[in-house]
Amino acid sequence: MNVEAMAKKLLARAKKKGAQQAEVFIETGREASVRVRDGEIQDLTQATSKGVGIRAFVKNRLGFAWTSDFTPSVLESFVDRAVALAEASAPNPLNGLPDRALLKGHPDVGALYDPEVANLRPEWKIEAALAMEKAGKAVDRRIKTFESVGAGESVSEVYLASSEGFAGGYSGTYVYAYAVPVAAEGEQLQTSYWTDTKRFFKDLDDPEGIGQEAARRALRMLGASKVKSQKVPVVFDPMMAASFVGIIAGAANGDSVFKKSSFLAGKLGATIAPKHVTIVDDGLLPRGVATSPFDGEGVPTRKTPLVQQGVLEAYLYDAFTARKAKAKSTGNAARGYRTLPHIGTNNLYLEAGERSPESIIKDIPSGLYVTAMLGHGANLVTGEFSRGANGMWIENGQLTRPVQEVTVAGHLLDMLQKLDAVGNDLTFRGSTAAPTIRFSELTVSGA
């Protein structure tokens, strides 16, 4: 289909029906995935999708509608519905599309589309999933089964056009694999997981390696028990460190900050962490899973340091929230064709440090190495953090025995200040990443 011609027609109709401003967001794509269990295909899914959303503005009033039916008569009525909804809604002087000046200067982000992913053999997913399962079971006889193991790929195209003169689109690909094994010994069962997601097929980890690493992570938890409640150094492995970075970015959401419902409100320019802590939201990262030339409103994406050498440098904004806060959009409007723009992250990461994970652990006489966390447990309003955790106990700089059913607690601002070591093992397995990190002291509650 010619999405450019479709977008022009929809915009023209919206203007004709009385919209002062209008914006069309079109998504098309296809995806395929497979899950296997005990050497047999559990399910094989292939799907295509398409849809268009439109925002219409009439005298500072917003109307929004979406449809997945591209029949000409349906498209006309859906535009009319968006304009009618705008006319019936309450006015807000902050409503409107991004200013024309913000819609210029789009960066060259490099290739986001891999023909190899787009043309993968259907058999690849099955072969990859079976290889992960086989390799994982071969690690140890105590890997009895897999709770889930699978692989897949997707191809998508986004096109956005607005009455403010912006029109553009891009295509992207994703390929992924994951394994969730179950280790059994006596009456105890332990599970873990390992995964990888990339835009380019050649960047994806070998399926066998994913299965083996998932198995090792499950096996080392066998025999896990609680520990006594105490205050000790706590190390987060890269997966858990990435989760922590995501929490901090959530608190840097410009809308939450404006509403004073974030513990980071009022702290712009303040030192909230040591100098070795730099957290970045980067929409320009080469080959990044969340890289794109523009955000969900057509604003160019960029690299935004949230925390720069310990100093809180920025909050994240879309156009509407930026107007409220008298700030500028940071190119962080996230959306699909079914949703209005909202603040999201692009490629989010904590910059790597210089220390190896082994040296970070070696310094600890007694502490906890966290490899999994349960629940949400982070209050972004108050900054209180309390989550169930599993991992390995550290004694004299060595990982000694598995630990489960404990709680790690602290205040997020205090945790940032106590983040005293950052590893050199930053690796992206999705759109949020971090290296190994250490907190000098947190409360570990157990037996």
Per-residue pLDDT at 377: 83
Cβ neighbours around 18 below 10 Å, total: 14
Cβ neighbours around 424 below 10 Å, total: 14
Per-residue pLDDT at 342: 97
Q: What is the pLDDT of residues 120-157, one digit of tens each?
A: 998 999 999 999 999 999 999 999 999 999 999 999 99
Helices 3-16 and 72-88, axial angle in degrees (round to 10): 40
Quote the CA–CA distance of 149 and 130 in Å, as a whole number. 8
The percent of residues above 90 in pLDDT, for the chain, comes to 97
Burial class (CB in 10 A: 0-12, 13-18, 19+), 385: buried
Q: Name every residue whose Cβ is closer than 8 Å to that of residue 169 and which is 6 or more positions away in sequence.
A: 3, 4, 26, 157, 158, 159, 160
Amino acid at 257: V
Q: Name every residue whose Cβ is closer than 8 Å to that of residue 412 and which is 6 or more positions away in sequence.
A: 247, 248, 251, 263, 378, 383, 384, 385
Quote the CA–CA distance of 418 and 21 in Å, as a whole number. 49
Cβ neighbours around 141 below 10 Å, total: 8
Hey, which bits of 262-334 come out as E strands?
A: 279-282, 303-308, 311-312, 333-334
pLDDT, mean of residues 327-352: 97
pLDDT, mean of residues 346-372: 97
Tokens, residue 170 = 């891009």
Count of residues making up the chain: 447
Question: Mean pLDDT, the chain, as a whole number?
Answer: 96
pLDDT, mean of residues 230-238: 97
> Domains, the chain, ranges and CATH?
3-219 (3.30.2290.10), 224-447 (no CATH)
Classify residue 208 by its DSSP letter. H
- At 447, the pLDDT band (50, 70, 90 cuts) reads low
- Tell me which residue of 86, 322, 54, 291 sits closest to 162, measured CA to CA: 54
- Tell me which H or E stretch contains 300: none
Q: What is the pLDDT of residues 178-214, one digit of tens each?
A: 999 999 998 899 999 999 999 999 999 999 999 999 9
The Cβ-side half-sphere exposure at 407, using a 13 Å CA radius, reads 14
Per-residue pLDDT at 376: 78
**Can you give the pTM of this predicted structure?**
0.95
- pLDDT of 345 strictly over 90: yes
CA distances for 346 relative to 94, 154, 294, 360, 432, angstroms: 25, 18, 11, 29, 8
- At 437, the pLDDT band (50, 70, 90 cuts) reads very high
Q: Name every residue whose Cβ is closer than 8 Å to that of residue 299 and which is 6 or more positions away in sequence.
A: 98, 102, 103, 319, 329, 331, 333
- Tell me which H or E stretch contains 295: none
